[in-house]
Amino acid sequence: MKRIAILGSTGSIGTQALDICRRHPEAYRVTALTAKSSREKLFDQVRAFRPEMAGLLDGIRQEEIPEDLRFCRWLSGKEALHAAAAETEADAVLVSIVGIAGLQSVMDALEAGRQVLLANKEALVTGGHLVMEKAKAKGLPILPVDSEHSAIFQCLQGAGGNQPEKILLTASGGPFRTWKREDIRKATRAQALKHPNWDMGAKITVDSASMFNKGLEIMEARWLFDMPESRIEVVVHPESIVHSAVAFTDGAVIAQLGVPDMRVPIGYAMSYPLRKTTGVPAPDLFALGKLTFERPDEDKFPSLRMAKEALRAGGAACTVLNGANEEAVARFLRDEISFGEIYDLVARALDALGGLPATCLEEIFEADRRARKVVKER
Ligand code: NDP
Ligand code: MG
């Protein structure tokens, strides 16, 4: 029996993780569930999974908790996130909240000696060096949930001493892959939210359309697999069947294939080092017929170039890119700015703040705050 705390249980990743728990009640027990504001959904989950603790970032008063749910400890605000990451009897913590808030939770979970199942890419993007250092010091693995990184992790299991030369990070190319640059800049909210292959939360769906998501994933791979940016290659693969691959020094390329369904990578992180059924069928290669691959177009999607430059710059540059992008996407989703302005605002923030340091959590949070301010004030 593995005891799992789920931070962000009401989201796209969180609910799919709970589907897996429901499928294997003999294997998983849920110790904590948290959400930001989705109370009713969280109430239903607490009713079904009976965790030790539950919490809402936006807060809940004692009298608002339904009578039948008072068996568990309810917390509010950041205290809820901290307790879920570090205080329940969990073996593993699934960090599936969205945004830089995930960094503190990952550090809390590691500090408390919990295995981290990591969906929240922002933790590695902003504090990758601190997270990996802490994980190493604690002798705990960071098990990736992001589909590409799970694929790479799975490919590496078959390495057998073969040296990885290059990571081939696949990208669907998003809904604007075949659009012209001018048209991409004018894309609407509805168009950006229509991902061709994956069904995900709003923020990451917009990031997939801008390809900032792939930029963030280059940073994520850099830290998870200790691979310099120069050896991580983005490969556009519109079918989203090859979830990524590793090229080894002996000329072999090992890839992981599957239908685009997050339950596979979530399930693998949860059951690692074992494998369990997920309810997801294998892809039908005959029905697919062919798989295609293209080079990314960095003129149409400057996000990729910006991400690589930020990684090379080091310090807080990746944090600035991430914070500016998070804020710009929020503004785009509120119809305050155009799609093209997401790129402009991130570039502006990087110009202004790309040189800030990131030697500790405080500096990272400060760089994040300042990057958001640049975007908010435009
Ligand atoms: P969702 O927006 O669907 O869900 C986010 C969850 O976190 C919800 O439970 C939400 O609560 C909670 N939450 C939101 N903001 C905060 C906050 N500031 N502090 C604490 N909790 C918060 O996101 P996804 O599930 O799509 O993504 C989660 C993470 O996983 C992201 O980092 C994303 O990049 C990553 N990821 C997601 C993939 C996917 O397929 N969805 C694929 C790969 C990575 P509430 O419901 O109350 O708002
Ligand atoms: Mg991904």
pLDDT tens for residues 189-243? 999 999 888 888 899 999 999 999 999 999 999 999 999 999 999 999 999 999 9
What is the layout of strands, in order, in the sheet containing 28-35? 73-76, 53-56, 28-35, 2-7, 92-95, 115-118, 142-144
Considering the domain architecture, whether residues 339 and 252 belong to the same structural domain is answered as: no
Considering the domain architecture, whether residues 318 and 363 belong to the same structural domain is answered as: yes
CB of residue 101 inside a 6 A radius of ligand 1 = yes
CB of residue 157 inside a 6 A radius of ligand 1 = no
Considering the domain architecture, whether residues 62 and 109 belong to the same structural domain is answered as: yes
pLDDT by residue (tens digit) across 346-373? 999 999 999 999 999 999 999 999 999 9
Measure the CA–CA gap between 179 and 58, rounded to whole angstroms: 39
CB of residue 262 inside a 6 A radius of ligand 1 = yes
Measure the CA–CA gap between 81 and 78, rounded to whole angstroms: 5
CB of residue 122 inside a 6 A radius of ligand 1 = yes
Identity (one letter) of the amino acid at 10? T
CB of residue 8 inside a 6 A radius of ligand 1 = yes
In a domain, 304, yes or no: no
Measure the CA–CA gap between 69 and 65, rounded to whole angstroms: 7
Name the phi and psi angles at 94, rounded to 5.
-90, 110
Cα-to-centroid distance, 149 and ligand 1 (Å): 17
Domain end residue (candidates: 263, 296, 329) = 296
Considering the domain architecture, whether residues 155 and 288 belong to the same structural domain is answered as: yes
Decide: helix, strand or coil at residue 178: coil
Kindly report the average pLDDT of the chain as a whole number: 97
Measure the CA–CA gap between 378 and 360, rounded to whole angstroms: 28
Q: Which residue has the tokens 């339950």?
A: 263
Q: What pLDDT score was predicted for residue 201?
A: 84
Considering the domain architecture, whether residues 280 and 231 belong to the same structural domain is answered as: yes
Output the domain CATH number for residue 375: 1.10.1740.10
Q: What pLDDT score was predicted for residue 360?
A: 97
Domain end residue (candidates: 141, 167, 195) = 141
pLDDT by residue (tens digit) across 256-268? 999 999 999 999 9
Output the domain CATH number for residue 42: 3.40.50.720
Considering the domain architecture, whether residues 263 and 362 belong to the same structural domain is answered as: no
In a domain, 308, yes or no: no
Name the residue of 10, 33, 97 whose CB sits within 8 Å of the most ligand 1 atoms, as the mutation to test its pocket: 97
Residues with CB under 5 A from ligand 2 (ion): 146-148
Averaged pLDDT for residues 310-329: 97
Q: What pLDDT score was predicted for residue 110?
A: 98
Q: What is the percent of the chain with per-residue pLDDT over 90, rounded to a whole number?
A: 97
Residue 103 pLDDT grade (very low, low, confident, very high; cuts 50, 70, 90): very high
Considering the domain architecture, whether residues 269 and 165 belong to the same structural domain is answered as: yes
Q: What is the percent of the chain with per-residue pLDDT over 70, rounded to a whole number?
A: 100
Name the phi and psi angles at 6, rounded to 5.
-120, 115
Query: Would you give the distance in Å from CA 128 to the centre of its chain?
Result: 13
Ligand that comes closest to the CA of residue 218 = 2
Q: What pLDDT score was predicted for residue 199?
A: 83
Measure the CA–CA gap between 166 and 354, rounded to whole angstroms: 27
In a domain, 243, yes or no: yes
Identity (one letter) of the amino acid at 52? E
How many domains would you assign to the chain? 3
Q: Retrieve residue 357's tokens.
A: 């340091």
In a domain, 122, yes or no: yes
Averaged pLDDT for residues 57-82: 97
Strands (E) located in 129-241: 142-144, 164-171, 232-236
Domain end residue (candidates: 262, 296, 330) = 296
In a domain, 369, yes or no: yes
Considering the domain architecture, whether residues 202 and 112 belong to the same structural domain is answered as: no
pLDDT by residue (tens digit) across 135-157? 999 999 999 999 999 999 999 99
Considering the domain architecture, whether residues 164 and 230 belong to the same structural domain is answered as: yes
Ligand 1 atom with least separation from CA of 9: 9
Question: Which residue's CA is the nearest one to ligand 1's atom 36?
Answer: 119
Averaged pLDDT for residues 123-144: 98
Averaged pLDDT for residues 116-135: 98
Four-point Cα dihedral 102, 103, 105, 107, nearest 10: 160
Q: Which residue has the tokens 């494998």?
A: 275
Averaged pLDDT for residues 309-324: 98
pLDDT by residue (tens digit) across 16-36? 999 999 999 999 999 999 999
Considering the domain architecture, whether residues 153 and 123 belong to the same structural domain is answered as: no
Residue 378 pLDDT grade (very low, low, confident, very high; cuts 50, 70, 90): confident
Considering the domain architecture, whether residues 275 and 229 belong to the same structural domain is answered as: yes
- Determine the structural domain holding residue 240 and report its residue range: 149-296
Ligand that comes closest to the CA of residue 170 = 2
Cα-to-centroid distance, 145 and ligand 1 (Å): 12
Q: What pLDDT score was predicted for residue 224?
A: 98
